[in-house]
Amino acid sequence: MQEGRLADRAYTAIVGIINEDDLAPGDRLPSEARLAETFGMSRTIVREALVRLAADGITEARRGAGSYVKRRPSARLGSHVPMDGLAGTLGTYEVRFVLEAEAARLAAQRRSHQQMEAIETALEALRTALLSSAPAHDEDWLLHRAIAEATGNSAFVDIFDNLETEVSKILRAGVEISRSRPPEVIGAMMDEHDAIVDAIRAQDGDGAALAMRWHLSQGRKRLMP
């Protein structure tokens, strides 16, 4: 079995320990050696899984002290993303940080008047959906896709479209989880999208890339309690 697949299994198993043992933020995970023995895997595979869990904001490594729980995945997340697929789904964030931040930068530099209108139309459709009780993941997807289209490079759109299945799960979960929280959470989500579009409108490439990275990082955090 490929190491990546084994690391996915270790990632899932560690999340299982967090959930089944009801570990709270700040609780220490078993050592790498103990996890490797429990899973019947090498410490290298377990270490890779822990690195990915830390990147996803679920665990954190403390030098000389092991790994600790940082955030637990929301229980609502499991209704949209099976736990055995969580590693792959959250892993799309690493791709999106690179792909969408650069897409936002290029969109700001290259967008035409018509493409700007399309982005603004998609933004208002998202605002209407988010501020209602209607599903809003499709509108969220279409706004991000309109930004990719505004790069003028079809390769960005093609790659983004290949992520649609996994990204849509995240968008759907993100909206539902956010709606279960105080209203300002949805407000923050909308503010983040406004900041991206404002920067593209102003043709501020660096600002657009930064706003997109901030939005994606906050979106990943919203999947946790």
Q: What is the pLDDT of residues 170-185, one digit of tens each?
A: 999 999 989 988 999 9
Determine contact, residues 56/220, Cβ cutoff 8 Å: yes
Assess if CATH 2.60.40.3880 describes domain 81-222.
Answer: no
Instruction: Say whether pLDDT at 22 is over 80.
Output: yes
CA distance 207 to 202: 9
For 143-162, the pLDDT digits (tens) are 999 999 999 999 999 999 99
DSSP state of 83: G
In the numeric block, the tokens 């949209």 are attached to 80
Residue 70 pLDDT: 93
HSE, CB side, 13 Å, CA atoms: give it for residue 136. Answer: 24
Convert the pLDDT of each residue in 203-223 to its tens digit.
999 999 999 999 999 999 888
Whether the per-residue pLDDT at 10 is higher than 50: the answer is yes
4, pLDDT greater than 70: no
pLDDT tens column, 48-94 = 999 999 988 899 999 888 999 998 887 778 778 877 788 888 889 99
| CATH of span 3-72 | 1.10.10.10
Domain boundaries, the chain: 3-72, 81-222
Of 71 and 127, more confident: 127
Average pLDDT, the chain: 92
- Interatomic CA distance for residues 112 and 152, integer angstroms: 9
Tell me the C-alpha distance between 223 and 160, whole Å: 21
Q: How far apart are the first and last CA of the chain?
A: 33
**Rounded to two decimals, what is the model's pTM?**
0.84
81-222: same fold as 3-72?
no
- Binned at pLDDT 50, 70 and 90, residue 1 comes out as very low
Amino acid at 133: S
